[in-house]
Amino acid sequence: MNTGDTSFVLISSALVAIMTPGLAFFYGGLVKRKNVLSIMMQSFIAMGIVTVLWSVLTFSLAFGPDHNGWIGGLDYLWLHGVSLAPSATYGTTIPFLAFFVFQMMFAIITPALITGAFADRMNFKSYLLFLILWSILIYAPLAHWVWGGGFIAKLGAIDFAGGTVVHISSGFAALASVFVLGKRVNRAHLPHNIPFVGLGAALLWFGWYGFNAGSALAANGQAAAAFVNTQIAPATAMVAWLLLSWMVDGKPSVVGSLVGAVAGLVAITPAAGYVPPTAALVIGLAAAIGCFYAMKFRAWMKWDDALDVWGCHGVGGVIGSILTGVFAAKNIGGFSGLLEGNSAQFIANLQGTAIAVAFSFFGTFFLLLVIRTFMKIKVGAHEEEDLDKALHGEEAYA
């Protein structure tokens, strides 16, 4: 066991942990002032429920010994066998408990990301059930397929820190939720607190260094590359988004710039420890252009994805996952991509991306349909206008 690696992963875990409260502020600032508590609570309660689930069941489903490429076994149920000794498979220089807690933070923030799509309209009781079932039925299997030795990993697809597992899964689950829940009664609103959006974006960017660099699971050169790429890609995307919004919409949008930075962070996530910094520039630029016009397309289609989760996380994750197969450099992360002559890596990442998209979208779509058959999932028109009082009996600005 290496004490330096252990310290690094524990600090990275703390950085990823702060991202969920950061997301609460990011989303909270974007919604109406009478609905800010409801959207923030959806992020905070994930920290409680998903932690319990991860400790009891879902960690084992994701990282337990592989069963035919589809799911992990129950060897780690109730943390059985998750000890202070290193695992022979995951993070071989750190305590298995350190790997467990690092991966827990990913499991927490992923379903919380979805909530921006159905902001202002999901019943809290149905959200709690959705949170539990989605974590078990969608997140845990996908994490196993990609990181736990499942069939996507066996195809040869690579995902350094969650382009498929976190961002494609949440982004396309968000799109599915929009189709099942339907539109809000009143879709026209401006962000009620842009400084909250800025605070949330700052916490997300800060935590993302742990998200990406920590995924090396060691304090080494690959972690350094991931850290640098986690600065370059969002910075490039932020500048590009600023210019795009200025040219297309006539003003250099503050919110747009912050969303652009997040899009860049999303896109670099699967590539962070596999590509050189020059590729991070291209990935950041591609994310800004792709996600910007995805959001324009979403608006044109009149899909009521309230906070553009699909356009940012879904499309950004797809861009990053595909470009990982293009720019992967053997001297950075041990894999060669299309530019180094390895077309097989590019094809494998295309396949992994497509599988993650289909599973997340259709799995979430049918899960919500099932919940809807025996439970009210959408609030009424009157509740929608003051969700905080209707669901929680509290006001953010009493």
* Number of alpha carbons in the 13 Å side-chain half-sphere of residue 96: 17
The Cα-based distances of 4 to 13, 95, 98, 181, 349 in angstroms read 14, 12, 12, 47, 32
Report pLDDT for 188: 76
Q: Which residues does the chain have with pLDDT short of 50?
A: none
Q: Give the distance from CA 308 to its chain's centroid.
A: 13
**CA dihedral sign, ordered 209, 211, 217, 221:** negative
- The residues with which 122 forms a beta bridge, in sequence order, are 378
206 in Cβ contact with 38 (< 8 Å): no
| CATH class of the domain at 3-390 | mainly alpha
Distance CA 394, CA 398 (A): 8
| pLDDT digit string, tens, across residues 342-390 | 999 999 999 999 999 999 999 999 999 999 999 999 999 889 989 999 9
| pLDDT digit string, tens, across residues 216-227 | 999 999 999 999
Which position has the token pair 């997300």? 204
Structure tokens given for 392? 């929680």
* Helices assigned H by DSSP within 302-380: 309, 315-327, 330-333, 343-374
71 in Cβ contact with 144 (< 8 Å): yes
| Domain locations in the chain as residue ranges | 3-390
Structure tokens given for 251? 């003003």
| Residues contacting 7, CB < 8 A, separation 6+ | 219
Report pLDDT for 187: 79
H or E element in which residue 52 lies = helix 36-53
pTM score, whole prediction? 0.97
Distance CA 87, CA 95 (A): 7
Report pLDDT for 316: 98
Structure tokens given for 376? 């009210």
- The residues with which 378 forms a beta bridge, in sequence order, are 122
| Residues contacting 169, CB < 8 A, separation 6+ | 110, 138, 139, 142, 356, 359, 360
Structure tokens given for 16? 């990823």
Largest CA distance in the chain: 61
Nearest to 229 by CA among 294, 275, 165, 261: 275
> What is the end-to-end Cα distance of the chain in Å, rounded?
52
At CA 397, angle to CA 395 and CA 398, rounded to 5? 65
* Number of alpha carbons in the 13 Å side-chain half-sphere of residue 109: 30
